[in-house]
Amino acid sequence: MARGTGMDRKRPLKKDETVEVRLSHASKTAFMARCRDQGQTASEAIRRFIEAEQGATRRPVAAGWRPLAAATLAGLALGAVAVPALAQSRAATPSRAAFDRLDRNHDGVVSFDEYRAR
């Protein structure tokens, strides 16, 4: 048996890898505040999340509800931002019916008087 092998197994592995994640300022601020409220660093929170995900692959599906809930909430938040933007872009898209309502004499040109009469 090699000298020091037993001690090496008990010592935690050195954490020397990094992951870069781009977030909006609001997301980062909210994440950091939540970490502070829970008394942990951002690195600890991310490590715990990754370790939980690694463990989730070994656990039954029913035990992995937290990541699913987090993904659902993230999807809802994204939808809350995206839906109004999509509605605005659709409303801003001109349609033939809208033009026809303005072109009262149907000559293919909307005069100022027709525009004003809308």
| Burial classification of residue 31, based on how many CB atoms lie within 10 Å of its CB (0-12 exposed, 13-18 middle, 19 or more buried) | middle
CB 20 within 8 A of CB 31: no
| pLDDT tens-digit map of 69-87 | 788 888 777 777 676 766 6
Q: What is the distance between the alpha carbons of residues 93 and 113, in angstroms, rounded to a whole number? A: 23
- pLDDT by residue (tens digit) across 20-40? 888 888 888 888 888 888 888
